[in-house]
Amino acid sequence: MFLVRLVLLPLLALLAAPLAAQRPKSATEALNRYEKVKAGSEAERRRPVGDLGGFEGAEITAALLAELERAEELGYRQTVVRALGEKAREGIVPALRKALSEATNNRLMDSACEGLARQGDAGVQALGEVLAQAEPKGSLRSSVCDGLGRAGSEAARDLLLRECNTAGGRDRLPALRGLANWQGDATVDDLRVQLAGDKDSLVAATALLQLAEHEHEKAPELAAQFVHRLQPGASAEHYTAALRGLLLAPLACKPKDLILAATLAEAPFGPKTAPAWTKALGNPAYVQWLVQQTPQLGNLERATAAQALGFVAAESAASVVPVLGKLLSDKDAQVGRAAAESLANLGAELAVPPLQKLLAAGSEAQLPIALHALHRLRRADPAWATELYQQANGKTATGRAAALQLLASLPQLDAERAVAAAAANLPHKAWPVRSAAIDLLVAVRAPAGIPALIERTDAETARLQQDVQNALYELTRLRLGDTAAWRSWWQKEGASFVVPKSSREPEPKKGRDAPKKADPGTAATYWDIPVRSDRVVFVVDVSGSMNQPFGTGGGTRLDEAKRQLVRVLGLLPKKAKVNVVAFGNGAVTLADTLQTIDEKRRKAAEEWTKALECRGATNVFAAMQRAFADLEVDTIFLLTDGQPSTGEITAPGPLADAIAAWNLGRGVRIHTVAIGGKSDFLERLARDSGGEHSSTK
């Protein structure tokens, strides 16, 4: 019986954990869970109190009001306010109003205002009183106006209109943004039309974007006027509003204006605009203009036009192939990459001939572009593998590396041929070729690849030395040290050795969901990920959300990010070459290229890091583009606390695809750190590049 209990108790505990994590299905169940922890700490009460918010009833309201009165820690207070305001409840407006008046944290202000917005007329009246009496500025004004926007009532609309008409300058923006969801309201639309011509370009852009989103008849005309009023250096937000308006009637505007707006806008070909591009490119007249004018445009505009041509209708597809074929060999890689992707969108019959021509005669920088697009079209064709093997023995290092990388991604491989191709490239003088060869041997998982890796154990240094060790571990589950030890083991075991199944499955994590700690002798780690490279770029998020609290010490996420970065800079060897990219709306760098981290530069890097401040959105595209611009880089550490929210590409899937395309032929390892919770996007970046991922709350 004792043994039975010994076995059953751990099993019951394991079963109880997921059950406890499930949300209660009734108010009674939620209250019972709350009563069990009512006398506990705020950390113990947080989840049950948060669950109370999903239910109504006087008893739940009383419990939440009591918790609000005794809440001490800021994060817990926010949990209570959010739960209290999750439903319309009797008599809670005074409590939410008080919580709002005492709030010093933006998120708490937002939660209180959202809660008031759900309380009907009384909540709207309270929000209006805050606007009228406190004359709030900055965050409080934004939170109140957002709450009124969520309320959606006529009274809320009137308060927002009054605020727009009485406030001045950019103080009108919160109220205008609060009106975003009012559609078909003549009074609101008249205000938007008026403000679309405002001398403040951000106010005008906000009004214009709302008109465009609601497909107002005046949006295209106002957008055309707005484009010509914009000054040099106008933000992507301005051009996004113009683009959305122009796309409603693309033939009524100057085609060049549309391309300019698309070039400078955020996510110009994203889900919100793609259908409009398809409609615009369904008109042969617009297609003809693009075909004729694209070669004369500037570099960025050519890339945009090339990307737009991928949206042409089937009947016009053949007419755009010649210009896209010429753009493939453009000196600007961004133009060539856009042309290749647009050709691939047109289908194999039209795209393969010009892409094959580029593959045969293109420059070293153009080979990955051709290979990437052809791989997308021909991956299932057995003859394509043969072409990749030929490229893996080609004249250029970039072409070889790219071909080896693509071979590793094929669903089926001829093991003997793949091992031979990888082994032939392991001694290559270019490190990206050797890196790709190592990865291919891991992908093949054939015993014949192990001796070739053994011969590289002492031949490599820094990151590639660890790549070899990791590859051998993946294929053998052993860590034996130097070449002599491996040779001895293989001599004894090689004849009968069977490669085990892949270990690259999710492993149970401890603590902060981090990878394994560095082995003894590894001094430099960054967020628990070993830093094996001596040519590394640290890419650090400094967007506004990094100002949120981190841990229990009173610091912010950025404070901890800076602490970790300063720490690792102090641990890297003097021979290491380092750069740092900080990103918010855009990206700034510590230096133009990698710099040897001697004492003088280390001190300068630490001072630069300590001076970083939170501001703006999350432009991962610009940050990673800047990191990849240095061809010497072999490792990138990317730290962020949110999804991409601004930049040329913001959708996680397409952005990950773009980064993978940049990395073709490069072999850069991307290690990622997610602050604030799980990130599928960051996990994919690490997985695609062979890097490690760490996440922490």
Rounded-to-integer distance, Cα 437 and Cα 658, Å: 22
Query: Which residue, 443, 38, 615, 190, is CA-closest to 179?
Result: 190
- Domains of the chain: total: 2
Assess whether 405 and 471 both reside in one domain. yes
Assess whether 427 and 536 both reside in one domain. no
Query: Which residue, 625, 632, 691, is CA-closest to 658?
Result: 625
| pTM of the predicted model over 0.85 | no
Q: Flag whether 683 is in a domain.
A: yes
Assess whether 530 and 621 both reside in one domain. yes
Assess whether 543 and 650 both reside in one domain. yes
Assess whether 558 and 681 both reside in one domain. yes
What pLDDT is stored for residue 223 in this prediction? 96
What pLDDT is stored for residue 137 in this prediction? 65
Sequence letter at residue 400: R
| Segment 388-404, tens digit of pLDDT | 999 999 999 999 999 99
Rounded-to-integer distance, Cα 545 and Cα 556, Å: 10
Query: Both tokens of residue 11?
Result: 């099993």
Assess whether 428 and 554 both reside in one domain. no
Q: Flag whether 649 is in a domain.
A: yes
Query: Both tokens of residue 484?
Result: 């002599």
Query: Which residue, 660, 642, 643, 662, is CA-closest to 651?
Result: 643
Assess whether 486 and 434 both reside in one domain. yes
Query: At 433, which CATH number?
Result: 1.25.10.10
Q: Flag whether 179 is in a domain.
A: no
Q: Flag whether 77 is in a domain.
A: no
Strand 635-640 vs strand 669-675: parallel, antiparallel, or unpaired?
A: parallel
Query: At 620, which CATH number?
Result: 3.40.50.410
Q: Flag whether 264 is in a domain.
A: no
Assess whether 573 and 660 both reside in one domain. yes
Assess whether 432 and 569 both reside in one domain. no
User: Which residues, 6 or more positions from 653, have their beta carbon under 8 angstroms from its beta carbon?
Assistant: none
Assess whether 660 and 541 both reside in one domain. yes
What pLDDT is stored for residue 551 in this prediction? 77
Assess whether 484 and 534 both reside in one domain. no
Q: Flag whether 305 is in a domain.
A: no
Looking from the CA of 473 toward its CB, the CA atoms found within 13 Å total 11
Give me the domain span that covers residue 397.
379-496
- What is the residue-wise DSSP string for 244-297? HHHTTSGGGS-HHHHHHHHHHSSSTTSTTTHHHHHHHTTSHHHHHHHHHHGGGS
What pLDDT is stored for residue 550 in this prediction? 85
Give pLDDT < 50 ranges for the chain: 1-20, 505-521
Q: Flag whether 654 is in a domain.
A: yes
Question: Which one of 496, 511, 542 terminates a domain?
Answer: 496
What pLDDT is stored for residue 15 in this prediction? 41
Q: Flag whether 557 is in a domain.
A: yes
Assess whether 396 and 434 both reside in one domain. yes
What pLDDT is stored for residue 250 in this prediction? 83
